[in-house]
């Protein structure tokens, strides 16, 4: 098989949750440029339309699928309907997520529950809905977006850290259950990237200075630098990679 064939996504359809902006949008654009048809997802139809319009120049087929990834029934209905009307979803990227900072001793149970639903339940909901179809076909790719907080912690984000640790272990569980059906289930763990989710940190000179000193690469990541990892895990090149979390973090988890 040629190198182009190994990494080509031509003829495949990829659903990326939370893809109207930030990391999700960057991954959608990157997978489109690698040949995939794209299914954009989010709750805000206006933002989805804007994202779809901006991806038009990739030449890829762009679909929009508005649903709340935390709503199990809505996810199942949306995925089933898409498969019936448009064909198989061969790649699922579970990117939808949120952050909420605060002292652990004062963290409200309502905010904790919202983090659990958004960062973990969504991965279960969309992963299960797409996997049910993939299992019948005997192949499929599921890529969950984890974090350096899958293995590390920082003050004020303990609940977020708990959710991303769960994403890492759920990824292992997916691989354990579904690899025998021909699925590859892996995760990408971004380090600190300049995204809307991190806008407050990017704007904080003290934090940015700390991060640049703490990260061997000496800088914030650019969302485009996550695309290669996603293409690899979406393609034939990763046919025997399963249950793995690939850290894309400038070396921050490798260094004290």
- Of 119, 121, 143, nearest in space to 131 by CA: 143
Q: What CA–CA distance (Å, rounded) separates 167 from 176?
A: 14
The question of whether 192 is a catalytic residue gets the answer no
Per annotation, catalytic residue among 82, 112, 160, 192: 160
DSSP label of 183: E
Number of Cβ within a 10 Å radius of residue 107? 17
Residue carrying the six token digits 């600190």: 192
- Of 188, 187, 253, 252, nearest in space to 220 by CA: 252
Q: Sheet of 13-16: strands edge to edge?
A: 62-66, 37-42, 13-16, 91-94, 140-145, 183-190, 245-248
Q: Which residues are catalytic?
A: 160
């Amino acid at each position: 098989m040629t190198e182009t064939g190994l990494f080509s996504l031509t003829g495949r359809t990829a659903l990326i949750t939370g893809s109207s902006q930030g990391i999700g949008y960057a991954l959608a654009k990157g997978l489109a440029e690698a040949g995939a048809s794209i299914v954009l997802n989010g709750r805000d139809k206006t933002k989805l339309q804007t994202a779809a319009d901006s991806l038009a120049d990739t030449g890829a087929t762009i679909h929009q699928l508005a649903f709340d990834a935390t709503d199990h029934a809505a996810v199942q209905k949306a995925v089933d309907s898409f498969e019936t009307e448009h064909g198989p979803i061969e790649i699922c990227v579970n990117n939808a997520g949120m952050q909420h900072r605060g002292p652990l001793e004062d963290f409200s149970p309502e905010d904790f529950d919202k983090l659990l639903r958004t960062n973990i339940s969504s991965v279960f909901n969309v992963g299960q809905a797409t996997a049910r179809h993939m299992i019948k076909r005997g192949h499929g790719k599921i890529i969950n977006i984890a974090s350096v907080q899958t293995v590390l912690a920082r003050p004020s984000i303990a609940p977020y850290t708990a959710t991303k640790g769960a994403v890492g272990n759920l990824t292992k569980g997916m691989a354990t259950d579904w690899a025998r059906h021909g699925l590859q289930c892996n995760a990408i763990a971004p380090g600190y990237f300049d995204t809307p989710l991190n806008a407050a940190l990017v704007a904080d000179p003290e934090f940015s200075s700390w991060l640049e000193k703490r990260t061997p690469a000496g800088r914030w990541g650019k969302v485009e630098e996550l695309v290669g990892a996603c293409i690899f895990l979406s393609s034939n090149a990763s046919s025997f990679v399963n249950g793995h979390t690939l850290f894309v973090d400038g070396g921050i988890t490798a260094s004290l």
